[in-house]
Structure 1
Amino acid sequence: MKKINLIVIIALVMFSCKNETKTSDVNLEENRAKSYDQNDGLVTLKGEFVYYGDAAVLQTPKEIYGVVIDDNLQLLEQQVKAFKKEATDMVPVTVRVRKFEKPEGEEGWPFRVEIKEILKVEAPNPESKDVIKLAK
């Protein structure tokens, strides 16, 4: 009888433990799943974004993309401005995009992306030392 009570108590303790997850991580995973499940041709990319002058770039750990300049880009730039100290600062973002090859004969990276949905904008890591500054 004592063994059965012990087994029941252990089982209750194990099943009553909460499996906590951050809501932002859950939302990101849902959006990633949405990218794959919808079959809408959109891809979720996480990388560092910069828009300077008339050029916008999204750099992921594996590739660099030119970004189509449109209303969604302008909206992303407004959200990113809060995290920039200088105009050339790169800010971590997560976006859903339409990825396509650049037109023949144009300069730039082999692929471009058109932002369709902004999922997350984060503050840059202040510990990061991969900054290049040009002096005049």
Structure 2
Amino acid sequence: MKKISLILCITLALFSCKNENNNTSVDLEENRAKSYDQNDGFITVKGLYVYYRDAAVLETKQEIYGVVIDDNLQLLEKEVKPFKKEATDMVPVTVRVRKFKKPEGEEGWPYRVEIKEILKVEAPNPESNDVIKLAK
């Protein structure tokens, strides 16, 4: 009886200590902790990016952000251009940004982001059906 109790206790102890997450794909949605070992207040965001007719948008799984149009946005646009077949194509990107609320009285999404660093630009998934066509 003591051996069975001992084996049962050891088994319970081993299984109860296993609280780690086996999900190997790290979601970089908003890593508010030290972003790539930097503590500068910026966050890392992974999402779909599009810039069309003086409007830039970054869409993540949970939120849509308006993007500040500046020199860093122009650099990102140069990097995503080879991946676009049409001007309205959305391209997956990972960027470090400064997130802030939009000014009162302006149209748009509640938060805006200002791109501070471009980390990764990926080719869009050709099997994705997330296509938006704009008529002229």
TM range (shorter): 0.7 to 0.9
Report the Cα distance in structure 1 between the residues aligned to 2:89 and 2:130, rounded to whole angstroms.
11
Report the Cα distance in structure 2 between the residues aligned to 1:87 and 1:119, rounded to whole angstroms.
22
Query: Are the aligned partners of 1:58 and 1:67 in contact in 2 as well (CA < 8 Å)?
Result: yes
Flag as ranges the 4+ runs of structure 1 deviating above 2 A.
Answer: 36-39
Partner of 2:48: 48
Report the Cα distance in structure 2 between the residues aligned to 1:41 and 1:121, rounded to whole angstroms.
22
Aligned-residue offset at 1:36: 6.6
Report the Cα distance in structure 1 between the residues aligned to 2:67 and 2:47, rounded to whole angstroms.
12
RMSD of aligned alpha carbons = 2.2
**How high is the TM-score relative to the length of structure 1?**
0.73
Secondary structure of 2:83's aligned partner: coil
**How high is the TM-score relative to the length of structure 2?**
0.73
Gaps of 5+ in 2: 1-24
Counterpart code for 2:66: G
Counterpart code for 1:83: F
Secondary structure of 1:92's aligned partner: strand
Query: Are the aligned partners of 1:36 and 1:43 in contact in 2 as well (CA < 8 Å)?
Result: no
Partner of 1:115: 115
Tell me the number of residue pairs that the alignment of Structure 1 and Structure 2 aligns.
109
Aligned-residue offset at 1:34: 4.6
Report the Cα distance in structure 2 between the residues aligned to 1:88 and 1:119, rounded to whole angstroms.
22
Higher helix share: 1
